[in-house]
Amino acid sequence: MTTRYDSRTNGCIFQWKIENLSHCCWLREGVELVSPTFIADAFYGTKWSLRLYPMGDEEFENSIAFFLHREDDRDSDEIEVNYHLAFLSKDGTVLKGLYAKFDFKCGDGYGRQNFESQKRVFLTQRKDFLSEDALTVQCTLRKTCDTIVNFKHIYALTVFKVNRRSVLWKIDKFSTVKPGLKNKLKDNLIDLDLILNEDIFNMDVISYDDSIKYISVNISIIDSEGRKTNCGVGEFNGSKIQWTLFDRKVEYGKFDGASYYISRIPEKLMKYKNRYMPNDVLSLNIEYVYSTIANSYEIFDSGTISSKLKEEIVENGNEHYVGKEKSQNASVLIDDLKSMYTDGIFSDTKLHTPSQTFPVHRGILSARSPVFSRMFSHDMKEKNSGHVHITDLENDTVHRMLLFIYTDFLEDLQFESASKLYVAADKYEILSLKSRCSSFLKDNMCPTKACDVLILADLHQDEDLKSFVQGYILEHDDVFSLQEWKHLMENNLKLAADIMYRKIHPCNA
């Protein structure tokens, strides 16, 4: 999608906001993000785009590369352009800028490979560059000799959507099941075929859209007490496939939709059938995540970006305008769902903390949480009694969790409440809530909180959050003089030792 040509303007400001940037697990060194194409009226209606390399390239692997690129168009002549590239803060302040002048031919791109350091953007000044996990970049174009009298303002929004699903596969009479048993998981954009051959799982992954940049699959066995044992974690990032099978990594070539070996059922599961296969039933929890891209546009003669952008979504490269009416309907739906929760209308189950009762709806909780889904789908006491007792979460945390389940919104989040909500999200496998809490903790990290978040991430086996906090501590030496660090050394010696090792031997970390 491109903007229309308007001969009345002789300057162009293109602002591009990229949301959920930290969720782009598929980004690697040398992988570029390309903005939607825009038309610069001041330059004869030529087409342009911005190119961003968040993980850098081979020459500057620790930097973010940023370029202005002229697209192929009808005018093949060279055009002399004065341009300014910039990273902006949430309020529009220029955090990093580059002024330059070049002659652009079709297909030319100019900028800087080491435009900004990854450390500043993703770690030390994350709150400035990545407020609410969104990076805003800007390009200003003008002719060399002209006095600018009329700028055309173009705003583009790219949203990396993280789609998370969780499915329970129960295999009855597992000891006598025949090889070739298949379970087909269908989504709008991908199909996952899980195949059981004796004690080996295989998987077919078929992607229906090129906009899918990343797929991950996690398979766990659920024991008789509801605890999960990991069978394998697979990642498909466009260039390779990597499975982690009980701490053993296996890599394959480029993903092309073929079948791949997943995991062999460990012998210990076969030995302890009463625990892992009660009543000869094997229960598998399959979690999969895939990332897609959506873009939107807004054009002004002047002014600032508005909420209208989020009403015009370009899904997977095909224009699809959501429109104002649909946006308003979605808002009404959210308000109605919130009323269902707060008023307890037609509730069929109750959640009990030691001091409060929350009327809820099984269908909504099951749709949002695999744990609640298992609880209400199987012959468990919660299904039969209509009561769920929660003894390890505070009233406020349960309330916030339920409000998110019903509305997908978080209200008045603070560091302490975000930490507690993170624990609840992990317990009930509400992956989108866990991700939101993790982003909040990263954005609001401070020296006095770093050790607590490190312990939290380690306890919940969150390698992404753990790695972030480790990097934060290494960049903030004042942490080592705090009482919190002393407590970490006394009570979590290995975590403290890991950080000190990384500090002494950064190349081996």
Of 387, 414, 441, the residue at which a domain comes to its end is 414
- On whether both 211 and 334 belong to a single domain, the answer is no
Res. 310: pLDDT tops 60: no
Nearest to 185 by CA among 212, 171, 158, 206: 206
Question: Does residue 311 belong to any structural domain of this protein?
Answer: no
Range of the domain at 97: 11-149
Confidence (pLDDT) at 370: 87
Confidence (pLDDT) at 447: 93
Q: Look up the pTM and report it.
A: 0.59
Handedness of CA 342, 344, 350, 352 (dihedral sign): positive
Confidence (pLDDT) at 250: 41
Of 233, 268, 293, the residue at which a domain comes to its end is 293
Q: What is the average pLDDT across 97-106? A: 91
Lowest mean pLDDT segment, chosen from 81-85, 152-156, 242-246, 278-282: 242-246
- On whether both 83 and 32 belong to a single domain, the answer is yes
pLDDT band, very low/low/confident/very high, at 251 (cuts 50, 70, 90): very low
- On whether both 123 and 81 belong to a single domain, the answer is yes
Question: Does residue 441 belong to any structural domain of this protein?
Answer: no
Question: Does residue 460 belong to any structural domain of this protein?
Answer: no
Question: Does residue 157 belong to any structural domain of this protein?
Answer: no
- On whether both 213 and 129 belong to a single domain, the answer is no
CATH number, position 267: 2.60.210.10
**Length of the chain (residues):** 509
**Strand segments (E) across 346-398:** 349-352, 357-360, 387-389
Q: What is the average pLDDT across 280-304? A: 69
Q: Are strands 151-171 and 11-19 parallel, antiparallel or unpaired?
A: parallel
- On whether both 76 and 120 belong to a single domain, the answer is yes
pLDDT tens, 483-503?
A: 999 999 999 999 999 999 888
Of 414, 443, 463, the residue at which a domain comes to its end is 414
Question: Does residue 386 belong to any structural domain of this protein?
Answer: yes
pLDDT band, very low/low/confident/very high, at 178 (cuts 50, 70, 90): confident
Number of structural domains, the chain?
A: 3
Q: How far is the C-alpha of 11 from the C-alpha of 55, rounded, in Å?
A: 31
- On whether both 174 and 117 belong to a single domain, the answer is no
Res. 437: pLDDT tops 80: yes
Question: Does residue 475 belong to any structural domain of this protein?
Answer: no
Lowest mean pLDDT segment, chosen from 73-87, 183-197, 468-482: 183-197
50-59, 170-179, 300-309 — most confident range? 50-59
- On whether both 24 and 118 belong to a single domain, the answer is yes
Q: What contacts 63, CB < 8 A, 6 or more positions away?
A: 56, 113, 114, 115, 116, 117, 118
